Amino acid sequence: MRAADLYRLRRIVDGGHGARIVVDGRACLNFCANDYLGLAGDPRLAAAARGALEQGTGSGAAALVSGYNREHAALEEELADFLRRPRALLFSSGWAANLGVLRALLGREDLLIADELNHASLIDGGRLSGARYVRAAHAQVADFARALEAAPADAGCLRLIATDSVFSMDGDLAPLPALSGLAARHGAALMVDDAHGFGVLGAGGRGALEACGAEADILMTGFGKALGTAGAAIVGSETLIEYLIQRARTWVFSTAPPPALAAATRAALALVRADEGAERRARLRGLIARFRAGAAQLGLPLSDSETAIQPLVLGEAARALAVSRALYERGYWVAAIRPPTVPAGTSRLRITLSAGHAEAEVDGLLAALAAALASP
């Protein structure tokens, strides 16, 4: 792995998280986090957590035993209300949510049709379920349709389409209205992983489904990205949630998250819903447009993404590492993304923007990129 420039190292961040961080002892502007609204270091979230921490740290047990705290129940209700769906169920991570749902709903006799660029947790959940797994070409609705036509509905069998809403390494959007229509026409179900859309897309911050006016049977909303905390929820029908409470193994057999984390997420959700959330989303959109215009002017190889994820595909892993290091030396932290996270030959800088950045900081990144890319 070392010889192929694929060895991974962790970098130590000191202090809080935000647009400005200290990485391995050097103060940097952070342009690779998923903290799209700049909430991860917000003192109001910390204050909410601190208040709940007065009563203790751990939840003590799984939710079905004694770990289901009032804070968890309130967050579930607020989420369902915000997303205008009947119920929500908290999981300790997006990984746990995706694995738990797919394993609970699908068995050998069922069919899963998944976008080939889906997040690793959807891929592993699908494999673990034992269902027949069809990889559809990225965002190609016709490919999803072919898979459904090749496997007609069978009484008692579930056919599930699963897709990321925003693809995490490319920033492009799934064709959600078309997939939702396709699922409806074929009596199939649609699951959308909105880890990168929740809080940040849609006029109200409800996510990718709101942004494009589509519906899904199963929605995964993560809190570790735009909401700036950690954990996730599955949102859907009464029956879905009740079923998961009986059968989702990553939920049933796992300690409930700390109540203080739910309190922080409730504070984040309140901000996302308030005018401030709309202001932060508008600010982020402005920064994305500014970055794209500046990058186009510099002739940088921009990707086809309108979201806060703006990858610069550089090719070989060694090249991505060298440019990342050159940026770091100029005080910009943009981690290099290499295989197996992305396909071979498409190593990249996964640049992300945040409402926590200033316009001048985006301009500074562009200048640093131009300089770093110019040197061999």
For the annotated catalytic residues, the residue numbers are 168, 196, 225
Note whether 350 binds ligand PLP by CB under 6 A. Answer: no
How far apart are the C-alpha atoms of 163 and 192, rounded to whole Å? 5
Identify the sign of the CA torsion 91, 243, 209, 163: positive
Report which residue's Cβ sits closest to ligand PLP: 94
How far apart are the C-alpha atoms of 201 and 308, rounded to whole Å? 10
Residue 53: exposure state from Cβ atoms within 10 A (0-12, 13-18, ≥19) = middle
239 annotated ligand binder: no
How far apart are the C-alpha atoms of 42 and 228, rounded to whole Å? 8
Note whether 193 binds ligand PLP by CB under 6 A. Answer: yes
Identify which of 213, 348, 357 has the alpha carbon closest to the alpha carbon of residue 285.
357
Residue pair 90/73 in contact (Cβ under 8 Å)? The answer is: no
Residue pair 287/359 in contact (Cβ under 8 Å)? The answer is: yes
Among the listed ranges 52-60, 92-100, 293-301, 328-336, the one in contact with ligand PLP (CB under 6 A) is 92-100
Note whether 119 binds ligand PLP by CB under 6 A. Answer: yes
**Unique residue bearing structure tokens 């990129």:** 369
In the complex, minimum distance from the CB of residue 196 to ligand PLP, in angstroms, rounded to a whole number:
6
In the complex, minimum distance from the CB of residue 364 to ligand PLP, in angstroms, rounded to a whole number:
27
**How many chain residues touch ligand PLP (CB under 6 A)?**
14
In the complex, minimum distance from the CB of residue 369 to ligand PLP, in angstroms, rounded to a whole number:
24
Among the listed ranges 13-21, 129-137, 193-201, 286-294, the one in contact with ligand PLP (CB under 6 A) is 193-201
Joined together, the tokens standing for residue 174 give 């799934």
In the complex, minimum distance from the CB of residue 25 to ligand PLP, in angstroms, rounded to a whole number:
26
Residue among 119 and 338 whose Cβ is closer to ligand PLP: 119
Residue among 38 and 94 whose Cβ is closer to ligand PLP: 94
In the complex, minimum distance from the CB of residue 278 to ligand PLP, in angstroms, rounded to a whole number:
23
129 annotated ligand binder: no
Identify which of 290, 210, 224 has the alpha carbon closest to the alpha carbon of residue 257.
224
Q: Which of 30, 59, 69, 121 binds ligand PLP (CB under 6 A)?
A: 121
How far apart are the C-alpha atoms of 230 and 217, rounded to whole Å? 23
Which string of x and - marks every residue 46-65 that binds ligand PLP (by CB under 6 A)? --------------------
- Total number of residues shown for the chain: 376
Which string of x and - marks every residue 160-179 that binds ligand PLP (by CB under 6 A)? ----x---x-----------
Rg for the chain (alpha carbons), in Å?
A: 21
How far apart are the C-alpha atoms of 24 and 138, rounded to whole Å? 37
Q: Which of 100, 125, 171, 222 binds ligand PLP (CB under 6 A)?
A: 222
Q: Which of 67, 126, 202, 224 binds ligand PLP (CB under 6 A)?
A: 224
Pairing label, strands 111-115, 87-91: unpaired
Helix (DSSP H) and strand (DSSP E) numbers for the chain: 13, 14
How far apart are the C-alpha atoms of 334 and 348, rounded to whole Å? 10
In the complex, minimum distance from the CB of residue 230 to ligand PLP, in angstroms, rounded to a whole number:
6
Binding site for ligand PLP (CB under 6 A): 93-95, 98, 119, 121, 164, 168, 193, 195-196, 222, 224, 232
Binding-site members are 8, 119, 168, 196, 341
Binding-site members for pyridoxal 5'-phosphate are 168, 196
